[in-house]
Amino acid sequence: MSVFIVSDNHINTILSYVNSQGQKNSLFSSYNYNDLLKIGKMFIEANIESYETRYPKEKVERFEYELKLFPVNISVMQFIKYMNCLEYQCNEVENWESTEASKLINCWVNSAYQHLPEWQAAKWEIA
């Protein structure tokens, strides 16, 4: 498996989507600008830790993450795909599943699935 550092634009697009979905998704409505800034920093740090775990001889220069929210028009499926990419780039650390970043990514992805038309149309059980 290889790891790369996702771009600020990748993180900002994810967080802009979350910000824009606040009225449609009650989970996303609980985040304000400062919350999203902290989350962006957490995602960047998780990505860097994963990179340095995978490539221990390479050190990533830390930088000050700047949250830039903007109008975003992506599908739920695209949001999920961006989240899956981020998760893949962060999961090299030994305790990944127990980290706050992992838990939040899984929570957001699971919440997003519920807004897919296919998910909404699918039957809950077989009688």
CB-count burial class (<10 Å; 0-12, 13-18, 19+) for 39:
buried
Q: 102-119, pLDDT tens digit by residue?
A: 999 999 999 898 888 888
pTM, 2 dp: 0.90
CB-based contact 102:91 (threshold 8 Å): yes
| pLDDT at residue 83, as a whole number | 97
Comparison of pLDDT for 84 and 63, the residue scoring more: 84
Residue 4, phi then psi, degrees to nearest 5: -135, 160
